[in-house]
Amino acid sequence: MKVLIAYYSAYGHIHKMAEAVAMGVGEIDNAEAVLRRVPETLPRDVLEKMGALEAQKAMAHIPVCTVAELAEADAVIFGTPTRFGNMCGQMRQFLDATGQLWANGALVGKVGSVFTSSNTQHGGQESTLLSFHITLLHHGFVIVGLPYTFQGQMRIDEITGGSPYGASTIAGVSGERMPSRNELDAARFQGRHVAAIAARLAA
């Protein structure tokens, strides 16, 4: 059973979360986690001005995702940073190229899930996850979130991401904060949870 983790990460925060998601997927028997980056749309000089080149190099070993790979997977877990309360432009452009899959019903019945990041604690994480779900519903995905059985999302002793809609992390205004242990645990839990449900559906 293949679980595709398709994500965009500019500075490495979503990449770290994606690795944790993959670890969770791997905890389910016969589940294979496949990490893929969605295509970059920004030119190199813009990425350099953004200070994102170093992080991009660190992720260069992850292959770029193709639209066809979505149809080959049993489940797809998408990762996107928040851009004004919505998915990033790179992810939007990637999904906008899935019209043929929609026309063929190629993704109907697959498990879909989403995780995200934002600069600030209230920077639109939940709206990003929920608005992403709209696209998944149009494709016929069976949407899976992060249930409250992951009790780390109920912590009040520290600032942390995570909601019933999916795992998330807070990056800081300058991207200085990497995912906390609790946020990585949430991502890992979500990966395991999605893979377990996908395995039941496959059976």
Residues in binding site for substrate = 102
- CA dihedral defined by 58, 93, 192, 106, rounded to 10 degrees? -130
* Nearest-angstrom CA–CA distance, 70 and 96: 13
Please identify which residue in the block is written with the tokens 């990425």. Answer: 47
How many helices (H) and strands (E) would you count in the chain? 8, 7
Residues in binding site = 9-14, 82-84, 102, 138
Residues in binding site for NAD(+) = 11
Q: Tell me the angle at which helices 13-25 and 181-202 cross, rounded to the nearest 10 degrees.
A: 40
Residues in binding site for FMN = 9-14, 82-84, 138
